[in-house]
Amino acid sequence: MKPVVLIATNNPGYNQTLLECAAKYQPSVDWVLGDDPRAAKAHVAACWYPSSSLADDFPALKCLHSLGAGADNLGSLFESGLRIERIVDAEQKHGMFEYVLWGVLYYQRDMDRYQSFQRQNLWQGLAQKSAKDITIGVLGLGEIGAYVATHLAQMGYVVRGWSRSQKKLTGVECFNGADGLDNVLAGLDVVVNLLPLNRETEGLLNGETLAKLPQNAALIHCGRGAHLVEADLIAAVESQRLRGALLDVFATEPLPAESKLWQMEQVVITPHIASSASFEAMVKQISAVAEEYFLS
């Protein structure tokens, strides 16, 4: 008899990869799908947007373990009274930093403008900016946001950070609260969203907030799709109020084919790939929790 982990996602391909990696990296723990009879004995569920009835359907569960660094994907299950765990992976933090750095460099080195020039068959150089000339605002200073902000500061960028509670980070000017958000947004070249999703942050990136950014600022959006009011972003970009946006998360995923965002030259779209923990790390961390319950 082995500890059991119930896989609770709605992505068949992802589920299959988890099953294969569990067999490879943690054969001492049975990872199963909901239709497996062993699922009834699972104390731990590996979750990514699970069914809201999960806790009722599998009453032996004691822990809901998010497959990501955040737990907002659990929805109403967050209030289930069950233990909540998240993935902690240093590689995931660095992966997010790499993605954000790529986005910052995309705008710092005017790659959006050079792409426009290319479409016009135009050979034209622009003045090069250095890191010290770029002011970046990082919204959300949790594990990942703090890592991104401090590493950008180490590279010479002027970095401001905003979070719910006051933080102290080396090289980062930190703000909190509503007034703090206004202070962060003023004078930015790039704003990076790495906020958690909750009642206070849902829809925060709306027309009113975007209007507080300087004209020609750019948005790098890697938090949660529900943070951004997409229609307001489209309006801000079309009116040239904003320079453009790099978007990795969306209100509806996959992004519907009819979304206007697909056709906007000033918008770069990636399919929620900014950073993720390795499957090995996920399997080992979640299996350790299952073994903890099995041995208790």
The pLDDT value given to residue 296:
83
Is residue 94 flagged as an active site residue? no
- What is the Cα–Cα distance from 161 to 183, expressed in whole angstroms? 10
The pLDDT value given to residue 72:
85
pLDDT per residue as tens digits for the range 143-180: 999 999 999 999 999 999 999 999 999 999 999 998 99
Q: Is 96 helix (H, G, I), strand (E, B) or coil?
A: helix
Query: To which CATH superfamily is domain 90-269 assigned?
Result: NAD(P)-binding Rossmann-like Domain (3.40.50.720)
The pLDDT value given to residue 69:
86
pLDDT lower than 70: segments of the chain: none
The pLDDT value given to residue 146:
98
The pLDDT value given to residue 70:
85
Selecting among 86, 113, 241, 272, the annotated active-site residue is 272
pLDDT per residue as tens digits for the range 218-249: 999 999 999 999 999 999 999 999 999 999 99
Contact 144, 168 (CB under 8 A): no
Q: Please state which CATH class domain 4-89+277-295 belongs to.
A: alpha beta
* Residues 209-232: b if buried by 16+ CB within 10 A, e if exposed: bbeebeeebbbbbbbbbbbbbbeb
Ranges in the chain annotated CATH 3.40.50.720: 4-89+277-295, 90-269
Is residue 272 flagged as an active site residue? yes
Selecting among 65, 151, 221, 224, the annotated active-site residue is 224
